[in-house]
Amino acid sequence: MLRVRRFILRIFTGLAGSLLLLFAALQTGEGQRALFSLVASVASGDDRTVRFDGPSGFFPTDLRFTRIEIGDGTGLWLTAEDAHIRWSFLALLDGHLVIHNVHAARALLERTPHAPPRPASAEGASPPPDRCCP
């Protein structure tokens, strides 16, 4: 029984150490560039491009970017320079999104993004389901 406890303790210690190292790596410029490169590639698609340049700041709650670009199939539609976002991660535990500051030294909205056409629906629009208590 003592061996099992030691094994479980080693597993949890290793997991906690790995998470701590990951958090520390995300405080470095290289770690943030790698993360936001991954985020941009996941967010980009056939008719959508997302790019984050120069990430810095305290991850995840106080982030800065030298440039953010968002585009679609016909080109860029939004460019933000010297962007900054500060938000509360702990508020998510309470089910709230609390954003303290969103700022860009320069934001250029070239045009509105082109949305893909919606398929025709046989049914009309319906209201969202009632999420109130009975």
The first and second tokens of residue 39, run together, are 């985020």
**Token output for 81:** 């320079």
* pLDDT tens digits, one per residue of 12-56: 999 999 999 999 999 999 999 999 999 999 999 988 999 999 999
What is the rounded distance in angstroms from the CA atom of residue 113 to the CA atom of residue 70?
Answer: 9
Q: pLDDT tens digit string along 75-97? A: 999 999 999 999 999 999 999 99
User: What is the reported pTM?
Assistant: 0.75
Distance spanning both ends of the chain, measured CA to CA = 48
Identify which of 37, 107, 116, 38 has the alpha carbon closest to the alpha carbon of residue 73: 116
* Domain map (residue ranges) of the chain: 2-109
